[in-house]
Amino acid sequence: MTTVKTNSMTPVQAINDGLRTMLHEREEMVVLGEDVGINGGVFRATDGLQESFGEDRVFDTPLSESGIIGTSIGMAMNGMLPVAEIQFFGFVYPAYEQVMTHATRMRYRSMGAFTVPMVIRAPYGAGVRAPEIHSDSMEALFTHMPGIKVVCPSNAYDAKGLLISAIEDPDPVLFLEPLKLYRAYKDEVPEGKYEVEIGKGELLREGEDVTLIAWGAMVPVIKKAAQLAEEKGIGCDVIDLRTLSPIDKDIISESVQKTNRCVIVHEAQTTGGLGNDIISIINDTSFLYLKSPIERVTGADVHVPFWALEEHFLPTPERTMHAIQKVMDF
Amino acid sequence: MHTSIKNRSAHHQDITEQFPVKQIIDGEGNLVEDTYRNEITVENTRKFYRQMLCMRTFDQKAINLQRQGRIGTYPGFKGQEAAQVGSAMALREDDWMFPTYRDHAASITFGGSYAILSSWKGRVEGNRPPEGRNIVPPSVPIATQLPLATGAAMASKYRQSSQAVIAYFGDGATSEGDFHEGMNFASVFRAPVVFFNQNNRYAISVPVWKQMNSETIAQKALAYGMPGARVDGNDVFAVYHETLKALERARSGDGPTLIEAVTWRYGAHTTADDPTKYRDNEEENKKHILNDPLSRLEAFMKAEGYWDVQWAEDIKKEIKAEIDEAVKEMETMPEPDVNDIYDHMFDSATWPIEEQKKAYMEYLKGGSEK
Ligand SMILES: Cc1ncc(C[n+]2csc(CCOP(=O)(O)OP(=O)(O)O)c2C)c(N)n1
Q: What is the pLDDT of residues B195-251, one digit of tens each?
A: 999 999 999 999 999 999 999 999 999 999 999 999 999 999 999 999 999 999 999
DSSP state of A74: H
CB of B204 less than 8 A from some CB of A: yes
As a whole-number percent, the residues of chain A with pLDDT over 90 amount to: 99
**Chain A, window 230-289: residues with a beta carbon less than 8 angstroms from a chain B beta carbon:** 270-271
**Ligand 1 nearest atom to the CA of residue B211, by list position:** 16
| End-to-end alpha carbon distance in chain B | 54
Asked if residue B1 is part of any domain, the answer here is: no
Indicate the helix (H) or strand (E) that contains A109: helix A106-109
Q: Look up residue A136 and give its amino acid.
A: D
pLDDT for the residue numbered B369:
42
CA–CA separation, A239 vs A253, rounded Å?
A: 11
Whether residues B370 and A318 touch (CB distance < 8 A) is answered with yes
Could you tell me the distance, in angstroms and rounded to a whole number, from the CA of residue B102 to the centre of ligand 1?
10
Is residue B2 one of the residues assigned to a domain? no
Average pLDDT of the segment spanning A180-187: 96
Ligand 1 atom 11 nearest Cα: B203
How remote is the CA of residue A118 from the centroid of ligand 1, in Å?
A: 24
| Number of domains observed in the structure of chain B | 2
Shared domain for B121 and B63, answered yes or no, is: yes
pLDDT tens digits, chain B, 370 residues: what are they?
655 555 556 677 789 999 999 999 999 999 999 999 999 999 999 999 999 999 999 999 999 999 999 999 999 999 999 999 999 999 999 999 999 999 999 999 999 899 999 999 999 999 999 999 999 999 999 999 999 999 999 999 999 999 999 999 999 999 999 999 999 999 999 999 999 999 999 999 999 999 999 999 999 999 999 999 999 999 999 999 999 999 999 999 999 999 999 999 999 999 999 999 999 888 989 988 889 999 999 999 999 999 999 999 999 999 999 999 999 999 999 999 999 999 999 999 999 999 999 999 999 998 544 3
Q: Whose CA is nearest to atom 21 of ligand 1?
A: B170
Q: Please report, to the nearest 10 degrees, the dihedral formed by the alpha carbons of residues A257, A260, A266, A270 taken in order.
A: 110
Q: Any idea of the CA torsion for B292, B294, B297, B298, to the nearest 10 degrees?
A: -120
Tell me what the mean pLDDT of segment A90-96 comes to: 97
Q: SS3 for B221?
A: helix
What CATH number does residue B169 fall under? 3.40.50.970
Q: Does A67 touch chain B (CB under 8 A)?
A: yes
Pocket lining: B170 vs ligand 1, CB cutoff 6 Å: yes
Residue B208 lies in a domain: yes
Ligand 1 atom 18 nearest Cα: B170
Mutate to test the interface with B, among A30, A60, A314 (most CBs of B within 10 A): A60
Q: Does B321 touch chain A (CB under 8 A)?
A: no
A329 touching B (Cβ < 8 Å): no
CA of A209 to the centre of ligand 1 (A): 48
Report the amino acid identity of residue A27.
Answer: E
Q: Which amino acid is at B68?
A: Q
Q: Which 3 state secondary structure label does DSSP give A38?
A: coil
Residue B15 domain flag: no
Which residue in A309, A310, A318, A322 has the most chain B C-beta atoms within 10 A of its own C-beta, making it the best mutation to test that interface?
A309
| B204 C-alpha to ligand 1 centroid (Å) | 7
Domain shared by B32 and B163, yes or no: yes
Q: Is B230 on the interface with A (CB under 8 A)?
A: no
CB atoms within 10 A of CB B85: 29
* Same domain? B208 vs B308: yes
Same domain, B261 and B364: no
Which residues 95-134 of A are in CB contact (within 8 Å) with B?
129-134
Residue A319 has what pLDDT? 97
Cα angle value A244/A19/A113 (rounded, 5°): 65
What is the distance in angstroms between the Cα of B102 and the nearest Cα belonging to chain A? 13
The answer to whether position B112 is within a domain reads yes
Asked if A306 lies within 8 A of B124 by C-beta distance, the reply is: yes
In a domain, B14, yes or no: no
**Ligand 1 pocket member B102 (CB < 6 A):** yes
B166 vs chain A: nearest CA distance in angstroms? 22
Write out residues 254-283 of B within 8 Å (CB-CB) of A.
272-273, 277-278
Which of these, A225, A276, A282, lies nearest to A256 by C-alpha position?
A282
pLDDT of residue B4: 56
Both B88 and B154 in one domain: the answer is yes
> B-contacting residues of A 156-195, CB under 8 Å?
none
Is there a contact between A94 and B350 if contact means CB atoms under 8 Å apart? no
B324 within some domain: yes
Judgement on whether residues B347 and B320 belong to the same structural domain of the protein: no
Across the interface, of B122, B177, B338, the residue whose CB is closest to A64 is: B177
pLDDT digit string, tens, across residues A205-238: 999 999 999 999 999 999 999 999 999 999 999 9
Angstrom distances, CA of residue A18 to CA of A3, A32, A119, A194: 19, 15, 13, 9
Q: Which pLDDT does position B35 carry in this prediction?
A: 94
Q: Do B175 and B226 have their domain in common?
A: yes
Residues B116 and B169 in one domain: yes
CA A61 to centroid of ligand 1, rounded, Å: 12
Tell whether B288 and B267 lie within a shared domain: yes
Q: Are residues B228 and B136 in the same domain?
A: yes
Residues B331 and B349 in one domain: no
Would B8 be classed as within a structural domain?
A: no
Q: Which of residues 79-98 of A touch B (CB under 8 A)?
A: 90-91, 93-94
- Alpha helix locations (H) across chain B? 10-18, 42-67, 81-89, 104-111, 145-158, 177-188, 208-211, 220-223, 236-251, 281-289, 293-304, 309-331, 339-343, 351-365
Domain, as residue range, for B366? 337-370
Catalytic residues of A: 134
Q: Which among A55, A271, A313 has the least Cβ separation from residue B352?
A: A271
Q: What is the mean pLDDT of the segment spanning A31-36? A: 98
DSSP states along A160-214: HHHHHHHHH-SS-EEEEEEGGGTTT--EEEESS-----TT--EEEE--SSEEEEE
pLDDT beyond 50 at A156? yes
Do B289 and B167 share a domain, yes or no? Answer: yes
Q: In chain B, what residues touch A30 (CB-CB under 8 Å)?
A: 1
